[in-house]
Every structure is written in C-alpha cells, then in structure tokens.
Chains A and B, each alone.
Chain A
Amino acid sequence: MNEKRIAAVRAHSLHKHFGEGATQIEVLRGVNFDALQGELTFLVGPSGCGKTTLISVIAGLLNSSGGEVKVFNQNIEKFSGTERILFRRKNLGFVYQQYNLLPALTAAENAAVPLLAAGVRHREAIDRAKSVLEKLGMGKRLDTLPNKLSGGEQQRVALARALVHEPRLILCDEPTAALDHATGESVMQLLAENAVHPDRAVIVVTHDSRVFHHADAIAHMDDGRIVKTESHNGDGIEIPELGETVPVLAW
C-alpha cells in the first residue's frame, strides 16, 4: 500500500433488531464493514439480507442495537437528534431506488433541496443545482417536473441532489433497480464519474450484478452479516488503519 487510505465508514460488530420478544427479528448480526474515501463501495446481497438497514444505520436514520459505527471517525449515534440532522445535512447525500423527488418541484429545484435545507439563498441554490444538473447531462430539463422525466432522468436529478452540497459520503439504495440495463449503466457511469472523489466515499446498495464492474470494492452480505469483501482487483480487501481524520462537525 503506497498511501494511507482513510476509512469514511467503519462498522464493527454491528447489530440491529426490530421488535421485541417472540416477534424480534435480527436483521444485522455483527456486521463488520468499511468504506474508504475515494472509492465506490458496493454492498451486495440477496433481498432481505440487511443491506438497506445497514446503510440506514450508517446514515443515522436508524439506531443500532449493538456494536459501533463510525462515519468519518465519529460515532453519530452519540450525537443529539439535532447534531445528527446537521451532520447528515452537511456530510451525507442520498440516492434512492424510487428517486423520492418532490413532484411539485422542477428538476433544478429538487436538486437544490439540500442547499435550501442548509439555508443557502434560493437563487444561489438553484444556480448551483443547475450547474450540477448540466454536468449530469440534464441541462435541457432543468425546469421540468419529475412526472415529465423518464426514470433515468429522475435518477440523474436524484444524483444531482445527492451531489449538490458536496457531501463526504453518498449512500445509494438500489439506484438502478427501477431502470432498464442501458439506463442503469448510464446512471452508474455518471455516479462513478461525478460522485467518486478523493475526499468522498460512495456506498451503493445493489443486487444488480451487471453494474458490479464499476465498484472499487464489493462487500457481500447475507443473512445480516458481511460474508465476503473484494477489492477492485478481485482480492480480499485490505482493511486499512484509520488515517488522519478531519473534524466534520464544523457547521
């Protein structure tokens, strides 16, 4: 290893269950998982294996039931509710399977939502959103409502929304599941070209093996555990030491 790689996300012995008593369901059963900055990490596995739950815990949208997860070396489960929201707003970007665009907003306005949430002035937010959309090939669809966009275009808007505030971690949940292969490939291509950055980690949950070639690392998950990890060259991934981290709670 020539240079020290920084772990953006590190989960250790992570557990998560839903329900109590007889109805309790163990979804995460001691997950050990790392995602490195500058890499596109795929989290793959069959439906119901806990992929979405894992990224929900990583994002601070769900609390774990045991173990530890650190994002940029910070245990966000120890944050207060507001700190967690602010951390998410500044550092995380999301791409969903169902896009989750606001139907009343144009493509540019949808992409600008994270900036507006952060208090950026409307005009500036829209301008920055337009700039990102243009990079993603949506320059001619800036003022179009989501219901007038194709699935691929909607996902590109969702991608712009995830990128516009320049977060350090992007979480994508089945971004190609609702798309045909060609469109899915194109979206993944855009994701790989635009989202991957030396200071940023991208985690993609998918079970679409046709896009695996975009991955720098792949974590295979089954029955609530990471059963195998691969680096881009097919070898078992090397878990790095935590490098120097910078404070991320500088709001």
Chain B
Amino acid sequence: MNFIALKMLTGDRAKYLGLIFTIAFCTFLLENQTSIFAGILKRTGSQIADVTDAEIWVMDPKTEYFEQTKALKDTDLTRVRGVEGVQWAVNLFKGSPVARTQNGKFAVSICLGLDDATLTGAPRKMLLGSWERLGEPDSVVIDKAGYILLFPGEPLELGRTLELNDHKVTIVGISDPPAPFLSFPVMHTRYSEAINFVGRERTQLSYVLVKGQPDVDPLELCRRIEAQTGLRARTSQQFQWDCIVYYLKNTGIPVNFGITITIAVIVGVVVAGQTFYLFTVENLKQFGAIKAIGVTNWRLIGMILLQAFTVGAIGFSLGTGMAAEFFNFFDRQIATRGLILMWQNVALTAACMVFVMILASILSLRRVLVLEPAMVFRG
C-alpha cells in the first residue's frame, strides 16, 4: 500500500510539485530569516569572538556591550594582574577614529589598540601582510571590507597610507575578521599608537584582556576579579551574549525580525499545512474506495503519514538546499559576509516543518478516518 500512497502523491504532477515547492519555499523563508537574524545579532560580538587568546574581558562596571566603553584607570591593569589565578592580563584600547584616504574618502572606523608587547587580540586570519608587522611604527592592519570601503575598486595592496586624527599610518596587513555589526572598517594597531588616533582623554584603557591559569575556572576567575577590583569581568562568551541581549533590548531589530519570522512561520504553517490538507481532501473519494475494498484505518494512517513525510522531506531538503546556496552566495559578498546558515536554524526549521506536517496530517486523517466508505456508491 506504500506504493499506492506514493503513486497517489506523485500521480498529479502539478499538485505534487506544488506541495513540494510550497514546503521548500516555507523552509527557505524560515531558515533564511532566522539565520539572518541570528547572524546579525552574532555580529554584535564579533570583535570579542575574534580575540581568541584571552578568555576574560574586564571592563567598567557599567559597560553593557562592546561598543559602550568607559576608560579604565591604567592602574586597573595592574590590579587585575594581581588577582589570584590570572596567568596574564593585557590592555586593549577601542576607539572610533575617522580614517581618511589621500583622495578624500573617509569613514568612521573601529580601531583596536593591542598590547604593544604581545599584540594579544591581533587578527588571526590575514589575507595580505602580517600582523607581526604591527611592531613597525605608525602601522595598522585593516580588514578587507574596510579597505574596499576606503579604496573602492582598487586591488588589495600593502603600503597604502591613511590619516587617523592627523596621524599618517601605513597599512601593513589586510585581515579578514568577522564582520562588525556596523559596516565600519576594523583596524588593529598597537595600544601606544591607537591612543593617539582619537581625541585624548585622561584615561584610555578600554578593556583588560585576561587569560586564566590552566587549572582556574574562567567563571570563578571572573568572580574573583570582580570581587577584588570592583570592575566587571565577563568571559568571552558571556560578553558576546551581553552584546546580543543589549541589541535585543534596546533596538528595533528583534521586533522587526520577530514580525518577519512570525509571518514566515504563519505563512509556512498555513500554506504548507493547508496545501497538504486540501490534497488529502481532494483524494477523499480515492481513500473511500480503498477503505471500502478493505484497507484498515491504521493502514490509511500509514499511507497519509508516508505521503506527508515524503513531501515534507523532499520539500525541506530542497528549501534547505536553496537556503544553503543563498548563504553560500551572500557569504562571499562584503556586506553580508559571515551570515551563514546555522545548524540551529536548520534544526529549528525542521522542527517547525515536522509540526506543520503532523498538524496537517492529523487534520487530514480526521477527515479520512471518519469517512463513510459507503460514499463510494454515490455517483
């Protein structure tokens, strides 16, 4: 009877393809929107994630997310180093100077000043040049997207110069870090250089990056740092989540995407579910004939579930393929780099589509199970 169920399903090519593409489109819509949403939120902490050497970020107690910095005192670095369980701690500057090119192009940038001695937090993925060259005077590493923004249409090339707060700097490397939330160029330089690229304040230390000793739990170390210094200490992962939560709470992004995702879910549930339901209802007479011949209700349930599983699996696979290809293409574009199809979104969408198909199957089954087989005698 499985053979008959599948033939019934595929017999009407137009309906069958309609079902498949409806489910595929809904899958694509859900995976697309949820992945973009997650990807954009992930960008809010991308500079944190890019620093792989340190596991703890220490900051002003009022700091809520990466962009919101209040300078610490220079002595705070020493105080953090004095906490038991700290293997090492280095300073990190974060500023937003305006970068200008010789031809007049300019852009606000994210400038990260790394510890002069260790260059902790330097970009690990380099496209051109080397982050070790940051030791050279007036040198910066700029990200590829920033380079293209400031030097549009020009090939990637080292040795070009930029002006940062009346300081001429030379590009010694082009990196490919995770995309920031805003499309600003990301520049890495030494701490001692970076503090001169923005208007001077009395203190400049934005963050202290900490690595704990191997046997010390990072969460415990955070508690110790907070207790001893009065500063805020967060693990990298916690700080990334802080950024996500901040944007969720304080921007229109979640509402905007929430509406879109809700509509996608509703459209997905209604369209995919109703299409399958109508497909079954249109075949009621056929099911009636099969029932009259002597097919049990359990067998009919199996047939309908097989049909639902088949169109669901094919439609979901097709939709996921479309979404994968979509993100594969847009991941290569500068503006949308880093937006990927996450497995969590695929799993979430799969759960959603399973729910839809089960719901549609239950509604369809109800009609088939209460179907009076005597209906087949009516012309």
Contact = CB atoms under 8 A, between A and B. Distances in A.
Interface of A: 52, 55-56, 59, 61-62, 81-82, 85-86, 88-90, 92, 94, 96-98, 100, 102-105, 109, 113-114, 116-118, 122, 161, 173-174, 177
B373 A100 contact: no
B10 A85 contact: no
B377 A117 contact: no
A173 B292 CA distance: 13
Contacts of A82: 296
B370 to A, nearest CB: 13
Interface residues of B, number: 27
A86 B297 CA distance: 12
A61 B379 contact: no
Interface of B: 1, 3-4, 7-8, 10-12, 285-286, 288-290, 292-297, 299, 372-374, 376-379
Given A55-B377, A102-B7, A116 B294 contact: no
Given A97-B379, A102-B286, A103-B12, A89 B293 contact: yes
Contacts of A59: 292, 374
Given A88-B292, A117-B295, A62 B11 contact: no
A-B CB proximity, top 4 nearest: A104-B11, A89-B294, A61-B374, A100-B289
B296 A113 contact: no
B286 A86 contact: no
A73 B361 CA distance: 39
B4 A94 contact: no
Contact of B294 (A62, A104, A118): A118
A94 B374 CA distance: 11
Contacts of B7: 102, 104-105, 109
Nearest to A99: B289
Contacts, number: 82
Contacts of B294: 85-86, 88-90, 92, 114, 117-118
A85 B295 contact: yes
A56 B377 contact: yes
Contact of B293 (A105, A109, A113, A122): A113
Q: Which of B286, B294, B376 has the most CB of A within 10 A?
A: B294
Q: Which of B288, B293, B295 has the most CB of A within 10 A?
A: B293
Contact of B1 (A85, A100, A117, A174): A117
B373 to A, nearest CB: 5
B295 A174 contact: no
Contacts of A105: 4, 7, 11
19 contacts: A52-B378, A61-B373, A61-B377, A62-B374, A81-B297, A96-B289, A96-B376, A97-B377, A100-B288, A100-B289, A104-B7, A104-B8, A104-B10, A105-B11, A114-B293, A114-B294, A117-B293, A117-B295, A117-B299
Contacts of B297: 81
A130 B169 CA distance: 86
Contact of A61 (B8, B292, B295): B292
B11 A174 contact: no
Nearest to A113: B293
Contact of A173 (B3, B11, B293, B377): B377
Nearest to B294: A89
Contacts of B11: 102-105
Given A61-B372, A85-B295, A88-B294, A116 B3 contact: yes
A117 B290 contact: yes
B285 A100 contact: yes
A174 B11 CA distance: 28
